[in-house]
Amino acid sequence: MNLYAILAIYFLFWVISAFIVMPFGIRTPDETGEVMVKGQADSAPSNFRPGVVAVRATILSAVLFGLYYANYVEGWVTLERFTRPS
């Protein structure tokens, strides 16, 4: 596997991880007791911290990519294990 493939696959893992971890820790103004701004949606987050999301996504994607790469090198799960012989 070349470096460009590694970077592309890691980036895909990072984006998916970011969407997975994004909702954790988010609170609405109703939950935090803040006053809502006119026109603000009830479900809009009042404490969104993109830095925390990025750190969490980086950690999760590193773990997932590590498992993916270990499987690529070691061949733990292959397509042949899921296909039955004809």
Using the structure block, give the residue that is written with the tokens 């893992």: 13
Query: What residue spans define the domains of the chain?
Result: 3-81
The whole-model pTM stands at 0.82
What are the backbone angles phi and psi of residue 83, rounded to the nearest 5°?
-100, 140
Model pLDDT, residue 52: 96
pLDDT at 24: 94
pLDDT digits over 4-59, tens only? 999 999 999 999 999 999 999 999 998 888 888 899 898 889 889 999 999 999 99
Residue 44 per-residue DSSP state: -
pLDDT given at position 63: 98
Is the Cβ–Cβ distance between 29 and 38 less than 8 Å? no
